[in-house]
A = this chain, B = another copy of it.
Amino acid sequence: MIVVKTGGSRGINLDYVLEDIARQTEPLVLVHGGSDELNTVSTQLGKPPRMVTSPSGYTSRYTDPETLDIFNMVYCGKRNKRIVEKLQQLGANAVGLSGVDGRLLEGRRKPTLRIVEDGRKKVLRNDYTGRVEKANVPLLTSLLDQGYLPVITPPAISYEGEIINVDGDRAAAVIADALGADRLVILSNTPGFLEDAEDEDTLIPRLAREDIDEAIATHARDRMKKKLLGAKEALEVGVGKVILGDGRIPGPVTAALRGQGTVIG
């Protein structure tokens, strides 16, 4: 069992990713994002993204109900259905689901969003973000047993039944754990984890579990921090290996499974 997460960043070649996924012979679950496109569509709709920074330095999207509707439009509507269409054309019987459907991805809604703005701490209300804690294993295995390829996208659903914006890498880690996957491949628009984010020749090919915290603290940029955190959590719950692979090259999943990129754990 393999879980593959592909980001929505510019540079990732989605055709390469999907062609390679359709070629895999092992059971597979695909998780995708769409944040760059969400920024574009939000701006087109007169609701530009509001990115906020937590006191501990992580960036996230302020997600009020209107933003959440646009989030659903881009992730569950435009991107998910075009990915499913492409996989169907490639002969893979894809089924697209969000975390809301059948409570596929359940988690806790953050009661308030604490941010730092202009050097001051603030609390934002009316925010619908949270953290995935559980995946609906019977629903996923039922689809896999019937030969379907689940294509999963945020958002998730809170225990109280509200749609919540959640991190896709974390969602992929929870799914990999729940299904007992031995490998989680996270594709982005870099060759893997770089010692110097500006220099692709500084790829770190192997990262031991015990070195993740230091890597987060010292090297990584924001998005990479979240990927490393996701990797750490996946390893903690029993996923064998997390591979940060390059989503820009042909055959990106196969390359990552062969150890190209940064292998963690």
Distance in angstroms from A53 CB to nearest chain B CB is 28
For A155, the closest partner residue in chain B by CB is B81
> A142 and B146 in contact (CB under 8 A), knowing A78-B72, A94-B101, A95-B101?
yes
Residue of B nearest to A157 (CB): B88
Q: Could you tell me the distance in whole angstroms from the C-beta of A142 to the nearest C-beta in chain B?
A: 6
Interface pair B161/A88, CB less than 8 Å apart:
yes
Contact B142 A138 (CB under 8 A): no
A64-106 interface with B by 8 A CB criterion: 69, 72-78, 80-82, 84-85, 88-89, 93-98, 100-103
In the complex, A25 has a CB within 8 A of chain B: no
CA distance A88 to B82 in the complex (A): 26
Given A44-B46, A69-B82, A88-B100, 14 more pairs with CB closer than 8 A? A41-B73, A45-B45, A72-B81, A75-B77, A81-B100, A81-B163, A85-B161, A85-B163, A89-B161, A93-B102, A95-B101, A95-B139, A96-B100, A102-B148
Chain A residues at the B interface, C-beta cutoff of 8 Å: 41, 44-46, 69, 72-78, 80-82, 84-85, 88-89, 93-98, 100-103, 138-139, 142, 146, 148, 155, 157, 160-163
Q: Which 4 A-B pairs have the closest CB atoms?
A: A77-B77, A73-B73, A73-B77, A89-B161
